[in-house]
Amino acid sequence: MSGRTTVVLATRNAKKIPEMQAILLQAGLDAEVVGLDAYPDAPEVAETEPDFAGNALLKARAIARHTELPAIADDSGLRVDALNGMPGVLSARWAGRFGARTGDRDAANLGLVLDQLRDTPEERRGAEFVSAAAIVLPNGQEDVVEGVMRGRLIDTPRGENGFGYDPIFVPDGEQRTTAEMSAAEKNAISHRGIAFRRLAERLKDLV
Ligand code: ITT
């Protein structure tokens, strides 16, 4: 890559921006990552696809078109074995209007999953976080990759870090929940960390 390129990360989740910036630097890419706050007129993209990869591509395509810059987007969620892979792409709105009404959507979503697993024994509480990350260039070139973190769900939330379902998710080989890890510890093993590192390698060939 010649000179310093700007890459737009199609997210309103501020925590994802320094994470992507650090991963691009580690991959040897001299690119500046900016979020959607820098583009107040950017379109809101409805996540209408049935899978993470489809939704990540929808978001990245819309933002590449709007900004005329390379755009990255990720779509992620929790797949619970005992719920046949749900909430999946519905992870952010699993508790539906109840989550919106209470004002704390994350707490409502997590509470609903815990209720649904109340009678599920330890050995059947497996789950995984999945992230699909897409890159779309203004010239129409695009690519999408995935990252997965396997683990299990505990029945009592622990930890203050992270967001979403982190307080009930214990990765394989760990005793702590991802909400009890530092951001760096979680990024090193997380679905999104894995997907973003894979995407950084693809980006080197594309940009
Ligand atoms: P953007 O769409 O603006 O990027 P978002 O936070 O809504 O931000 P996602 O759609 O990718 O991001 O996330 C879907 C949901 O999946 C999220 O609201 C959480 O409930 C859950 N989730 C995803 N990654 C998670 C993680 O690392 N830790 C805990 N929960 C996570």
DSSP 91-145: GGGTTHHHHHHHS-HHHHHHHHHHHHTTT--GGG-EEEEEEEEEEE-TTS-EEEE
Instruction: Label residue 98 by pLDDT band (50, 70, 90).
Output: confident
pTM greater than 0.85 (yes/no): yes
Domains of the chain: 5-206 (3.90.950.10)
* Beta strand ranges found along 23-108 (DSSP E): 31-34, 71-80
Q: What is the mean pLDDT of residues 95-117?
A: 88
Specify the ligand 1 atom closest to the Cα of 106. 20
Q: Are 152 and 177 in contact (CB under 8 A)?
A: no
User: Which residue puts its alpha carbon closest to atom 15 of ligand 1?
Assistant: 92
DSSP one-letter string for 11-53: -S-TTHHHHHHHHHHHTT--EEEE-GGG-TTPPP----SSSHH
The 10s digit of each residue's pLDDT in 153-175 is 999 999 999 899 999 999 999 99
pLDDT at 97: 78
Active site residues: 75
Q: Residue type at 42?
A: A
Reading the block at residue 145, the tokens are 């990759």
Residue owning tokens 């009592």? 156
The 10s digit of each residue's pLDDT in 128-150 is 999 999 999 999 999 999 999 99
User: Which residue puts its alpha carbon closest to atom 6 of ligand 1?
Assistant: 13
User: Which residue puts its alpha carbon closest to atom 10 of ligand 1?
Assistant: 75
- DSSP secondary structure letter of residue 148: E
Reading the block at residue 73, the tokens are 């987007």
Pocket of ligand 1 (CB under 6 A): 11-13, 74-78, 91-92, 106, 109, 129, 162-166, 190, 192
pLDDT at 1: 44
pLDDT at 3: 61
Residue owning tokens 């309103």? 12
pLDDT at 4: 79
The 10s digit of each residue's pLDDT in 110-125 is 999 999 999 999 999 9
Buried b (16+ CB within 10 A) or exposed e, 108-117: bbbbbbbeeb
Q: What is the mean pLDDT of residues 5-21?
A: 88
